[in-house]
Amino acid sequence: MSASPATPAAEDATTADDGTTDAAATTNAAPAPVTVLGLGPMGRALASAFVAAGHPTTVWNRIPGKADELVAQGATAASTPAASELVVVCVIDYAASDSILEAAADAISGRTLVNLTADSPDRARAAAGWAAEPGVDYLDGTILTLAVSIGTPAAVFLFSGPEALYEKPRATFASLGGSATYQGADHGRAAAYDVALLDFFWTSVSGLMHAFALARKEDIAARDLAQFARGILDLLPPIMDQLAGNVDDGVYPGEDSHIISVAAGIDHVIHAADDRGMDTGVLRAARAVARRAIDEGHGTDGIERLAEVLGRPAA
C-alpha cells in the first residue's frame, strides 16, 4: 500500500522466508528521488505511485505530451533522459530501452538503474552486460500485474541481479504497493518467470477467443459462454500444484486422463471448427504435440508428459 503525500515516510519492505517483501513496515527516512524513463501505461502508473508516496519524481518520455498529467500531480518533466540516484525504465521492449539508455549513458553513470521493461531473459542479461561499461548499477525486474494494480496491494514484482542492489531501493519500491520477490543474482531470472507466465496467459486467452468464435458460429453469445468458461478455469487451480510437481519429478500418471483422450478431445473441436470454416491453426499445433507424444509411445501417460515433449524442437 503506497503512502499518502501527507505522510511522506518511505515504506521499508520486510522480507519473508519465501523471499517476498511487503510494504507494511515504514521508516522515518524521507522519500528518495526517483526518475522514470518511459511513460506508456505502465510507466505512468509507476511514476504516479511514486509521486503519491511523496517521492520527488522526474519523468521523461521519447514522445512529448505524456507527462502533463503527472506534472499536474507533482512530478517534474525532463526534456532529456535525466537521472536521479535511482532510475527506473519501463518501455515496450529492450530494443527501446537499449536505445534510451545508450543515449543516456553519461547521465546514468554511477546510478542505480532498475529496468522493468518486459523482454527475454537473454536480452536482460545483455543489458546488464552493457550497463557495466558506463558504471551503471543494474537491477532487472518484471511486473506480473496490470498497470491498474500499481500502488495497490495487488501489484506483483520480481527482481533479479545483485542482491545488494535489490536491497538498496527496496523502501522506494515499497511505494508501488503489493509484493516483491528477489529471484537471485542472474539478471535474466525475473524475465524468465515473465516469459513463461506470459506463455501461459496468452495461450489461454487465445484459446478463450477461439472458444468465443466457435460459440458465435452456433449463435451462442460470448457472455453466455463466459459463465461456463469460468467453471472450466476453476478446474485448474486445484490441480496446478500437482501437475507442476509431476513435471518437476518426471512422473506422468495417466490413470484419470491420458494423452490419447486429450488428442481425441482436440479432434472433436477441430472437426466442429473446420465444419464452420474457422481458423484451426492453434488447435492443430496442440494436436500435433499430443500426436508426437503418442507416436513416441507415451499415449497412456498424463498430460504432464507434454511439458517434456514441448521442451524439444518439433521434428
* Chain segment 22-50, per-residue pLDDT in tens: 544 444 578 999 999 999 999 999 999 99
Domain stop point among 184, 208, 224: 184
Q: Are residues 117 and 217 in the same domain?
A: no
Look at residues 123, 203, 121, 199 and name the one whose alpha carbon lies nearest to residue 158.
Answer: 121
**pTM for the whole structure:** 0.87
Return the pLDDT at 22.
52
Domain stop point among 184, 218, 253: 184
The residue segments making up the domain with residue 272 are 192-310
Q: Can you tell me the distance from the alpha carbon of 84 to that of 11, in angstroms, rounded to the nearest whole number?
A: 19
Q: Can you tell me the distance from the alpha carbon of 300 to that of 11, in angstroms, rounded to the nearest whole number?
A: 53
Look at residues 113, 57, 19, 1 and name the one whose alpha carbon lies nearest to residue 11.
Answer: 1
Q: Are residues 23 and 115 in the same domain?
A: yes
Please give the tally of structural domains in the chain. 2
Distance of CA 304 to the CA centre of its chain: 24
The enclosing domain of 228 has a CATH number of 1.10.1040.10
pLDDT tens column, 171-211: 999 999 999 999 999 999 999 999 999 999 999 999 999 99
Q: Are residues 91 and 62 in the same domain?
A: yes
Q: Enumerate long-range contacts of 92-99, CB under 8 Å, 24 or more apart.
A: 92/40, 92/117, 93/117, 93/118, 93/119, 93/123, 94/119, 94/120, 94/123, 94/124, 94/126, 94/127, 96/38, 97/38, 97/127, 98/127, 98/130
Q: Are residues 69 and 216 in the same domain?
A: no
Q: Are residues 109 and 218 in the same domain?
A: no
Return the pLDDT at 315.
73
N-to-C CA span, the chain:
50
pLDDT tens column, 121-180: 999 999 999 999 999 999 999 999 999 999 999 999 999 999 999 999 999 999 999 999
Does position 11 have pLDDT exceeding 50, yes or no? no
Return the pLDDT at 82.
80
Q: Are residues 295 and 176 in the same domain?
A: no
Return the pLDDT at 208.
97
Q: Are residues 84 and 26 in the same domain?
A: yes
Average pLDDT, the chain: 91
